[in-house]
Every structure is written in structure tokens, then in C-alpha cells.
């Protein structure tokens, strides 16, 4: 395993240490420990194999990358080689990835300010206009990294794209892709290329670059760079948390924690999903008081109230997951104002509510707006997630966390 992955290495060592306590664990705890060890080992094996097999072809694992995608790609490679594996990635980056492209904009201010170009890039990419999408992607990435580092672009010599304790910062990760994509291309080449050679493409030497391989690798690169920025911004906080974990609590507290988590898991297993029928169990539209029995809906309605009253400070707090994590509250409120000040909320209708787990629900809302271009309707989908405010698992009935709105699909706000 890569030495850079400190937290993962520590977790593996912690599991080994816990196995020494096997005589003190009951059968359920032993089983859970085995399951965790198996899952962790599989993740290590899969991500290591992915980078070893595919980094030289222009792909690298990054922290927000789906483990299922990594596993599917490795499986395809084992069954049919590199061409078979790349088709899995091509299919993902020309189709399924469209659901999460807003992650790029939300990763950092450097990408957020380029959102208009990013939207054009993805429009060109998904419609197959690769002659346009590829150079635009390279321009966006280079400029965003330049702003982020306040020094040099992604492809510039001397730009470091390492990051502490994350996949994208591994030796076979972003640094290797930078080295490959930044190769000198000194001769005009009319043969098809399958790697986004920055110098060859932007300097007009690689003429036959407009294909799905190159464009998809640009999409993957953009996600990897976005992850790197998020990890770089959180580096100090993550280091402090890691260093704190190196001083474990006494054995008695550790065993008490195991028992506490066991009790929480039992509570979670006994949780029963409620089917919520809009118009029967809850009103289609109403005030906070109308939804008191559904605190995750209350959070959504409070957000809508802040929107309607044009309180962009509160609105940006409710919708904090829409904005780069490195923004101060004041800057976040300013960016929120830019998005919403010309979208006056007139009314809303709750279209769908689905409880997916005790700490996760889906809420779909249709809003009627007054915009500079006249009346408009938008459909917004939020994931309502209960986040813990401590070290234990957050569950609503213990009041040990807060409901957070996750913008699953808010594309209508930008159209």
C-alpha cells in the first residue's frame, strides 16, 4: 500500500491490534471486524491494481471515484485486457458521470469561477463535439490550478500536485498523469492519439485528438484535480485529526465505544421506514409547523423560507454543500446571492419524499420563480443527510447531529 495513505495504513494496523483483543469480543463484534478487514483489503487491492494497470493509459483513481467503477474496470481488464477495461471507463464518462458534474464547480473557488466554461465543456463532451471539449478542458484545468496555487498552471514545470493522505496524491495518481500529459510533442502527428497531450493539442502538433478516449480522460482528469484541490484545502485539518487519533483512548474507553456503537447499530436495525404520501401525510406546500413530524423536511422548508425572504446568509448556510468548502461564510453568502438574487421564489410544491435510511431521505421540490426573463419553474432534488456532531454514529432519535441538505440535482438553477 502507498505510504502516503496514512489513515488507511493506520486503520489496517488498528484492525490487526483489535484482532489481538478477540478473546474480549463477542461473536457479532468478531464478525464485524472480519467484514471490515475484508472490505478494507478489497479497497486497497482494487485501487492499487487500478493505478498500476491504467495510470500509463491516462486514468488514475481519485478519492470521490466510485469503488464499484474501479472494481468493474479491474474485472473487465482481467477478462478482456486493456481495451475491454477502457470501454467500461468510456461508458461511465460519456453517460453516468453526467449526474455529478456539479461536483467540479463545488470543489473550489478556482473551478467555481469557471463554471460557465465548465458547462460548455460538458455540453460539448456529451454531444460528441470532442474537437471543442478537449482543448477547453485543458484550458480550464490549467487556469484553475494556476489560480489555486497562485503560482503556476497544472502543466507547468515545477507545479506540485501531491497531497497528504489521499488517493489522488499517490505516486501513481495525479503526478503521474501530469508527467504523461505534459510530454513534449515536437513533430506534427496526424495519427489518432488516445491521451490528452497538452502541448501537442494546444500547439497544433497532434491533429487527430478529437475522440472519446481523449475527451473522457479530460473529464476524469478534471474530477481528479477537483479532488486534489479539496484534499489540499483540508490537509491541515485532516493532519490534526490523524495526529489526535495516534493517541488512542484507554482500553476501557475503547471497549465502551464498541458497546455504544453496537447499541446504535441495534437501534438502526430496528428502524422502520415510513412511506410519506405528499398531499395525505404532509401538505404539498406549507409552513415549518406543518412538517414538525419530519425534521428533514423542516430543514428543506427553512431553506425555502430563507430563499423567499432573500436572506442569502442563512440560505448559503442551508445550502453550504453547493459551494466550495474553502469559502468563508461571507464569501459563500456572496456567491449565493449571485445565484439566487435574480430568482425570486414565489411558491413551492413538495413532489416526492422518500425515506431511504434512518439518516437519509430524498426530497423533490418544484419551485415557481420570477426571473429577469419572466416566470420559471425548477425541480430540485435534495438528499437530506443526518450528520453526526461527534465521534459516534449520528442518528436522529439521539439528537447527536444535524440534518444537512445535499444538492443531488439542482441543475435547473443554472439553466
pLDDT digits (tens, 9 = 90+) for 397-414: 888 899 999 998 898 888
In a domain, 229, yes or no: yes
Distance separating alpha carbons of residues 68 and 73, to the nearest angstrom: 9
Grid-cell match 431521505, residue found = 361
In a domain, 364, yes or no: yes
Q: Which residues contact 349 (CB under 8 A, 6 or more apart)?
A: 284, 285, 365, 366, 367
Distance separating alpha carbons of residues 165 and 260, to the nearest angstrom: 29
**Looking at 49-63, 217-231, 234-248, 310-324, which range is the least confident one?**
234-248
Residues 147 and 47 in one domain: yes
Give the three cell numbers for residue 316.
448559503
Averaged pLDDT score across all residues of the chain: 89
H/E/C letters for each residue in 307-335? HHCCCHHHHHHHCHHHCCCCCCHHHHHHH
Selection from 220, 210, 189 nearest residue 104 by Cα: 220
User: 13: how many CB neighbours lie within 10 A of its CB?
Assistant: 10
Q: Note down the domain range covering 392.
A: 264-414
**Looking at 106-110, 113-117, 362-366, which range is the least confident one?**
106-110
Residues 295 and 231 in one domain: no
Q: Which residues pair with 360 in a beta bridge?
A: 357, 385
Residues 27 and 162 in one domain: yes
In a domain, 212, yes or no: yes
Q: In this predicted model, what pLDDT tens digit does every residue of 223-261 receive, in sequence order?
A: 999 999 998 888 888 888 878 777 765 655 555 566 666
In a domain, 353, yes or no: yes
In a domain, 259, yes or no: no
Residues 225 and 323 in one domain: no
CB of 395 closer than 8 Å to CB of 366 = no
Residues 106 and 206 in one domain: yes
Q: In this predicted model, what pLDDT tens digit does every residue of 259-311 receive, in sequence order?
A: 666 776 777 788 888 999 999 999 999 999 999 999 999 999 999 999 999 99
Distance separating alpha carbons of residues 156 and 183, to the nearest angstrom: 11
Residues 230 and 297 in one domain: no
Residues 20 and 68 in one domain: yes
Give the three cell numbers for residue 392.
459516534
For residues 140 and 108, the model is more confident at 140
Residues 275 and 230 in one domain: no
In a domain, 146, yes or no: yes
Helices marked H in 95-195 = 102-107, 109-112, 115-126, 130-149, 174-181
Beta strands across the sheet bearing 343-357: 343-357, 360-371, 374-388, 401-409
Instruction: Identify the three-state secondary structure at position 152.
Output: coil
Burial 380-402 (b: 16+ CB within 10 A, else e): bbbbbbbeeeeeebbbeeeebbe
Residues 335 and 190 in one domain: no
Q: In the Cβ-directed half-sphere of 247, how many Cα atoms lie within 13 Å? A: 4
Residues 169 and 236 in one domain: yes
Give the three cell numbers for residue 236.
491541515
* Parallel/antiparallel/unpaired status of strands 360-371 and 401-409: unpaired
Distance separating alpha carbons of residues 132 and 121, to the nearest angstrom: 8
pLDDT at 1 over 50: no
In a domain, 128, yes or no: yes
Distance separating alpha carbons of residues 200 and 129, to the nearest angstrom: 19
Grid-cell match 493505478, residue found = 51
In a domain, 393, yes or no: yes
Number of domains in the chain: 2
Burial of 221 (0-12, 13-18, 19+ CB in 10 A): buried
Task: Specify the DSSP class assigned to residue 84.
Answer: H
Grid-cell match 489522488, residue found = 168
Instruction: Identify the three-state secondary structure at position 336.
Output: helix
Residues 225 and 342 in one domain: no
Residues 110 and 222 in one domain: yes
The band of 332, judged by pLDDT with boundaries at 50, 70 and 90, is: very high
For residues 158 and 206, the model is more confident at 206
Q: In this predicted model, what pLDDT tens digit does every residue of 348-358 receive, in sequence order?
A: 999 999 999 88
CATH of the domain at 334: 3.10.450.100
Amino acid at each position: 500500500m502507498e505510504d502516503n495513505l496514512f489513515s488507511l495504513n493506520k486503520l489496517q494496523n488498528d484492525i490487526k491490534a483489535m484482532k489481538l483483543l478477540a478473546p474480549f469480543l463477542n461473536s457479532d463484534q468478531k464478525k464485524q471486524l472480519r467484514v471490515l478487514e475484508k472490505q478494507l483489503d478489497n479497497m486497497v487491492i482494487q485501487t492499487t491494481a487500478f493505478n498500476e494497470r491504467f495510470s500509463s493509459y491516462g486514468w488514475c483513481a481519485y478519492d470521490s471515484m466510485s469503488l464499484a467503477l474501479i472494481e468493474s474496470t479491474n474485472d473487465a481488464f482481467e477478462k478482456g485486457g486493456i481495451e475491454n477495461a477502457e470501454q467500461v471507463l468510456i461508458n461511465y464518462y460519456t453517460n453516468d458521470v453526467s449526474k455529478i458534474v456539479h461536483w467540479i464547480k463545488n470543489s473550489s473557488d478556482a473551478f467555481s469561477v469557471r463554471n460557465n466554461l465548465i458547462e460548455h465543456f460538458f455540453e460539448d463532451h456529451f454531444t460528441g463535439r470532442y474537437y471543442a471539449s478537449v482543448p477547453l478542458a485543458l484550458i480550464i484545468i490549467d487556469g484553475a490550478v494556476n489560480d489555486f496555487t497562485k503560482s503556476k498552471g497544472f502543466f507547468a514545470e515545477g507545479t506540485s500536485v501531491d497531497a497528504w493522505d489521499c488517493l489522488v496524491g499517490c505516486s501513481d495518481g495525479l503526478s503521474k498523469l501530469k508527467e504523461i500529459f505534459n510530454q513534449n510533442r515536437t513533430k506534427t502527428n496526424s495519427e489518432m492519439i488516445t491521451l490528452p497531450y497538452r502541448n501537442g493539442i494546444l500547439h497544433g502538433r497532434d491533429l487527430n485528438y478529437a475522440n472519446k478516449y481523449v475527451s473522457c480522460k479530460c473529464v476524469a482528469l478534471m474530477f481528479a484535480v477537483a479532488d486534489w484541490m479539496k484534499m489540499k484545502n483540508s490537509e491541515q485539518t485532516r493532519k490534526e485529526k490523524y495526529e489526535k487519533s495516534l493517541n488512542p483512548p484507554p482500553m476501557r474507553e475503547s471497549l465502551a465505544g464498541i458497546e455504544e456503537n453496537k447499541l446504535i447499530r441495534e437501534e438502526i436495525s430496528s428502524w422502520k421506514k415510513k412511506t410519506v404520501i405528499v398531499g395525505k401525510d404532509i401538505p404539498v406546500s406549507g409552513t415549518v409547523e406543518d412538517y414538525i413530524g419530519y425534521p428533514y423536511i423542516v430543514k428543506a422548508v427553512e431553506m425555502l423560507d430563507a430563499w423567499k425572504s432573500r436572506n442569502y446568509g442563512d440560505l448559503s448556510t442551508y445550502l453550504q454543500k453547493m459551494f466550495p468548502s474553502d469559502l468563508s461564510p461571507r464569501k459563500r453568502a456572496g456567491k449565493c446571492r449571485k445565484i439566487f438574487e435574480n430568482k425570486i421564489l414565489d411558491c413551492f410544491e413538495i413532489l416526492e419524499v422518500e425515506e431511504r435510511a434512518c439518516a437519509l431521505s430524498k426530497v423533490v421540490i418544484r419551485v415557481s420563480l420570477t426571473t429577469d426573463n419572466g416566470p420559471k419553474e425548477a425541480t430540485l432534488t435534495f438528499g437530506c443527510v443526518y450528520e453526526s456532531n461527534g465521534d459516534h454514529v449520528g442518528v436522529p432519535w439521539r439528537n447527536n447531529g444535524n440534518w444537512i441538505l445535499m444538492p443531488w440535482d439542482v441543475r435547473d438553477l443554472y439553466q
